[in-house]
């Protein structure tokens, strides 16, 4: 007796496919939902997030000792801002766009409408587990889609809170949270979703894209990479040091847009290093360690990976300027500055994703640009320096997903600009208008009048058309 595909499904496959099937009918209903309906849901989500603020902070603390203040700034505040910005602007963003009519189509009218893609999947990483699961969800809901969220398996406490919040706002036939590791994720990826929004590493991004190709599902890939940070000779050194220390050691360096390595002009290198050291001491090494705003590495495996990168650099001749302490099974790593690094070290080859900051010296901006362009296109590029001409030179010489001049990381928080990578750092955009676009199909509709003879210009025997082109 032959077995059916249904009978050979494992427990989790049955559970996931039931949710996926149940979301189909709802996705059809949501096509007819109004902007008002969607805003109502987002406001409900906002209310629940506010209600669960203390639990969110506790959950992130449980998962990797993330300080409450950092959780507020980089998780809840970012998500609440995204909801408020979306609710304020959604009507305008989804308004059908009227377009002009070319001469041969005279008599017809055309417009572009923005409709939901349908059933969508969000796969999120562990480093900002709340923000990177709910941020894209806001766009998916605003655009009128159903959604399954697959959060990272490394943040179990945060996932509990996410599940609770979602279950209070949505029925799981509309938005469901499916936890799991690689097998569960790969099963999800085998299903014919209408869009997949993936945030994670370039290596897994390739797996996602390959799986999506089997169903011709569209993808947004928000990936990582080595984000260079140039500090030119005319930079304001103390200001640059303070911003770099914030951007690099926020979340203990586990930030996709953290400065990965510094390129420093030789004339100011000594002064910059002194300023970085002082800033690190002031922010992280004075006062009560209990109240120091500095989190752990997500798990021992990642701590060991960072330690291996560190040892490889030291073994090959790099010089540790400050930090370099690995404690608590390598899960607590001090903010670390490293000089004399070279291209053959892992620290200059791989995305560090931890609190190690290598420093490379350069003579002229052209050399700095060449160093950047030897590596895959990064998610972020930062430039500190006052000359507009030099700023323009770097922007034109080096591509990156996002850029900030005389600051770092904050470009992520401006809801008015798109956020996404290029090349190895991904493609497609999230945030605000751009996020809603990622989850919408831009559908053109041409409406012909039936009163006057119209497109006959383009019909056989084509004599009128010949007059048009001549």
User: Considering only residues 105, 204, 395, 422, which one is a binding residue for ligand NAD as defined by CB under 6 A?
Assistant: 204
23 contacts ligand NAD (rule: CB under 6 A): no
Cβ-based nearer residue to ligand NAD, 213 or 445:
213
Distances (CA, A) of 62 to 65, 154, 330: 6, 11, 17
Show the DSSP H helices in 350-403 as ranges: 365-373, 388-397
- The closest alpha carbon to 429, from 414, 444, 449, belongs to 414
123 contacts ligand NAD (rule: CB under 6 A): yes
Strand partners, 222: 199, 426
Question: Residues 340, 318: contact at Cβ < 8 Å?
Answer: yes
Show the DSSP H helices in 298-384 as ranges: 300-315, 346-349, 365-373
From 200-208, 331-339, 340-348, 358-366, give the range in contact with ligand NAD by CB under 6 A: 200-208
User: Considering only residues 85, 150, 226, 269, which one is a binding residue for ligand NAD as defined by CB under 6 A?
Assistant: 150
Q: Is 256 a catalytic residue?
A: yes
351 contacts ligand NAD (rule: CB under 6 A): yes
Distances (CA, A) of 162 to 141, 273, 323, 371: 16, 41, 35, 41
Whole-angstrom Cα distance, residue 299 to residue 291?
A: 21
127 contacts ligand NAD (rule: CB under 6 A): yes
Whole-angstrom Cα distance, residue 202 to residue 445?
A: 37
User: Considering only residues 144, 224, 354, 355, which one is a binding residue for ligand NAD as defined by CB under 6 A?
Assistant: 224
Site residues (CB under 6 A) for ligand NAD, limited to 373-432: 379, 421, 426
Question: Residues 438, 222: contact at Cβ < 8 Å?
Answer: no
Question: Residues 275, 384: contact at Cβ < 8 Å?
Answer: no
Smallest distance, Å, CB 181 to ligand NAD?
Answer: 6
226 contacts ligand NAD (rule: CB under 6 A): no
Smallest distance, Å, CB 223 to ligand NAD?
Answer: 5
From 84-92, 105-113, 199-207, 363-371, give the range in contact with ligand NAD by CB under 6 A: 199-207
Q: Residues 222, 351, 398, 408: which is the catalytic one?
A: 222
User: Considering only residues 114, 126, 193, 261, which one is a binding residue for ligand NAD as defined by CB under 6 A?
Assistant: 126
Cβ-based nearer residue to ligand NAD, 109 or 201:
201
Q: Residues 87, 147, 256, 398: which is the catalytic one?
A: 256
207 contacts ligand NAD (rule: CB under 6 A): yes
Whole-angstrom Cα distance, residue 258 to residue 49?
A: 26
| Sign (positive or negative) of CA dihedral 246, 138, 87, 118 | positive
Cβ-based nearer residue to ligand NAD, 219 or 223:
223
Q: Can you read off the two tokens belonging to residue 464? A: 């009128």
From 53-61, 169-177, 222-230, 308-316, give the range in contact with ligand NAD by CB under 6 A: 222-230
Cβ-based nearer residue to ligand NAD, 218 or 376:
376
Q: Which residue's Cβ has the minimum distance to ligand NAD?
A: 224
Whole-angstrom Cα distance, residue 245 to residue 434?
A: 29
Whole-angstrom Cα distance, residue 240 to residue 128?
A: 24
User: Considering only residues 49, 60, 87, 132, which one is a binding residue for ligand NAD as defined by CB under 6 A?
Assistant: 132
Smallest distance, Å, CB 204 to ligand NAD?
Answer: 3
User: Considering only residues 353, 362, 382, 384, which one is a binding residue for ligand NAD as defined by CB under 6 A?
Assistant: 353
Cβ-based nearer residue to ligand NAD, 345 or 380:
380
From 120-128, 138-146, 304-312, 442-450, give the range in contact with ligand NAD by CB under 6 A: 120-128
Which DSSP category does 259 fall into? -
223 contacts ligand NAD (rule: CB under 6 A): yes
Burial of 64 from C-beta contacts in 10 A (0-12 / 13-18 / 19+) = buried
Question: Residues 223, 422: contact at Cβ < 8 Å?
Answer: no
Active site residues: 222, 256
The binding site for ligand NAD (CB under 6 A) comprises 123-127, 132, 150, 152-153, 182, 185-186, 199-201, 204, 207, 222-224, 256, 351, 353, 379, 421, 426
């Amino acid at each position: 007796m032959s077995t059916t595909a249904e009978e050979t499904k494992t427990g989790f496959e049955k559970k996931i496919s039931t949710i996926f099937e149940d979301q189909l009918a709802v996705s059809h209903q949501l096509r007819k939902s109004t902007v008002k309906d969607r805003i109502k849901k987002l406001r409900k989500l906002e209310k629940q997030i506010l209600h669960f603020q203390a639990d969110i902070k506790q959950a992130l603390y449980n998962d990797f000792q993330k300080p409450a203040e950092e959780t507020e700034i980089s998780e809840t505040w970012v998500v609440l801002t995204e909801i408020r910005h979306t609710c304020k602007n959604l009507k305008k963003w989804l308004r059908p766009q009227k377009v002009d009519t070319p001469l041969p189509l005279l008599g017809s009218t055309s417009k572009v409408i923005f409709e939901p893609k349908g059933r969508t999947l969000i796969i999120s990483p562990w480093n900002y587990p709340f923000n990177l699961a709910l941020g894209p969800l806001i766009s998916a809901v605003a655009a009128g889609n159903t959604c399954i969220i697959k959060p990272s398996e490394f943040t179990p406490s945060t996932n509990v809170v996410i599940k609770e919040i979602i279950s209070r706002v949505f029925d799981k036939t509309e938005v469901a949270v499916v936890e799991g590791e690689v097998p569960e994720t790969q099963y999800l990826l085998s299903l014919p979703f209408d869009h997949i929004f993936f945030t994670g590493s370039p290596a897994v991004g390739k797996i996602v894209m390959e799986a999506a190709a089997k169903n011709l599902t569209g993808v947004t890939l928000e990936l990582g990479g080595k984000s260079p940070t140039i500090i030119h000779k005319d930079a304001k050194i103390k200001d640059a040091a303070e911003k770099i220390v914030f951007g690099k050691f926020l979340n203990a360096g586990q930030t996709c847009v953290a400065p990965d390595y510094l390129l420093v002009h030789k004339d100011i290198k000594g002064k910059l290093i002194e300023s970085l050291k002082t800033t690190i001491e002031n922010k992280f090494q004075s006062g009560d360690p209990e109240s120091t705003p500095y989190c752990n590495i997500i798990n021992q495996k990642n701590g060991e990976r960072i330690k291996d990168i560190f040892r490889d650099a030291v073994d090959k001749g790099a010089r540790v300027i400050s930090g370099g302490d690995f404690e608590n099974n390598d899960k607590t790593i001090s903010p670390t500055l490293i000089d004399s690094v070279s291209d053959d070290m892992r620290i200059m080859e791989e995305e560090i994703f931890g609190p190690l900051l290598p420093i490379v010296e350069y003579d002229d901006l052209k050399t700095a640009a060449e160093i950047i362009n030897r590596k895959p296109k990064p998610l972020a590029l930062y430039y500190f320096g006052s000359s507009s001409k030099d700023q323009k030179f770097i922007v034109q010489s080096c591509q990156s997903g996002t850029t900030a001049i005389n600051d770092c990381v904050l470009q992520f928080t401006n809801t008015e600009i798109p956020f996404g990578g290029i090349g190895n750092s991904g493609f497609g955009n999230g945030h605000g208008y751009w996020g809603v676009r990622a989850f919408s199909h831009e559908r053109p509709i041409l409406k012909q009048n039936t009163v006057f003879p119209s497109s006959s210009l383009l019909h056989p025997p084509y004599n009128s058309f010949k007059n048009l082109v001549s």
